[in-house]
Amino acid sequence: MILTIDIGNSTIAVSLHRKEDGNPLLYEQMKTDKKKSGDSYYLELVNILRSRKIPLSSVKKAGLSSVVSSLTPVFEQVLSRLTGERPFILTSEAVLPFAIRVDDPSTVGTDLLADVTGALLKYPAPLVVFSLGTATVTLQVSEEPALENVFIYPGVNTSLRTLSAKADALPDIDIDHPGPFSGKNTNDSMVSGIVYGTAAMLDGMIDRIEKETGKVCTCVASGGLAHVICPYTEHLIHVEETLLVDGLFEALRLNGFLS
């Protein structure tokens, strides 16, 4: 079996795949903590596997993508310890199923490269791929396919935390599915504003990309709040919880790491 790990700014995605077909056998998330030791992360991974009754000896190889540079070498050691060999680490220099047409491909987060790879596994280009995490990112993928543009703006929770910190009268709130389109009290005003407002922003990005390219795009989203935001968009956006780790597994295959 193949273990894939994505280290994000807020969470670490953990997925285990069958080598033969890439089918995910588990998908879990851990909290990102830059101060945590490699031993602690190793024990947390071991506990996840044992809770699913998965023998450690069955995990033969691992793949890693990371946007937290300080944790990349930590997990490289953790995964080497777990599998007995160095993990595949995704970079912009890896073999990918698309071209990267930005000024400096090395500046594109490897999580985004995995997202695009995962989207191309399931959907036809041209694509608009959204990543709703610490930042909200829009990825424009042409028919070729090629990653043509990357648009980055504050994430939902990032925006809310900043708003509550800067405005004394506005409380911390939990994001959930809003009620009817209204804002009759502070909590509803904030929930409706952030959910419907973000949904409208995603619609606006799709409209702008389709207008610029003259192409109708398939739209896909991943990230912790995609399932909350995307039901309220006017455009159909396919929500794929395991898009990133599925793409990372495919990157392992394309780079001959599974042989």
Could you read off the pLDDT of 95-148 as tens digits, one per residue?
A: 999 999 999 999 999 999 999 999 999 999 999 999 998 899 999 999 999 999
Residues 7 and 104 in one domain: no
Write down the pLDDT at residue 53. Answer: 93
- Residue 172 belongs to domain with CATH number: 3.30.420.40
Residues 125 and 158 in one domain: yes
Q: What domain count does the chain have? A: 2
Which residue bears the tokens 């990230």? Answer: 223
Residues 118 and 229 in one domain: yes
Whether residue 129 lies inside any domain: the answer is: yes
Residues 73 and 153 in one domain: no
Whether residue 70 lies inside any domain: the answer is: yes
Write down the pLDDT at residue 226. Answer: 94
Q: pTM of the full predicted structure?
A: 0.93
Residues 63 and 111 in one domain: no
Categorize the per-residue pLDDT at 157 as very low, low, confident or very high, splitting at 50, 70 and 90: confident
Residues 69 and 159 in one domain: no
Categorize the per-residue pLDDT at 67 as very low, low, confident or very high, splitting at 50, 70 and 90: very high
Categorize the per-residue pLDDT at 72 as very low, low, confident or very high, splitting at 50, 70 and 90: very high
Residues 137 and 234 in one domain: yes
Residues 70 and 142 in one domain: no
Task: Please say which residue of 33, 59, 89 terminates a domain.
Answer: 89
Say what percent of the chain tops pLDDT 70: 100
Task: Please say which residue of 48, 68, 89 terminates a domain.
Answer: 89
Provide the residue range defining the domain that includes 56.
2-89
Write down the pLDDT at residue 220. Answer: 98
Per residue in 178-216, pLDDT (tens digit) is 777 878 888 888 888 999 999 999 999 999 999 999 999
Write down the pLDDT at residue 259. Answer: 80
Task: Please say which residue of 70, 89, 108 terminates a domain.
Answer: 89
Whether residue 254 lies inside any domain: the answer is: no
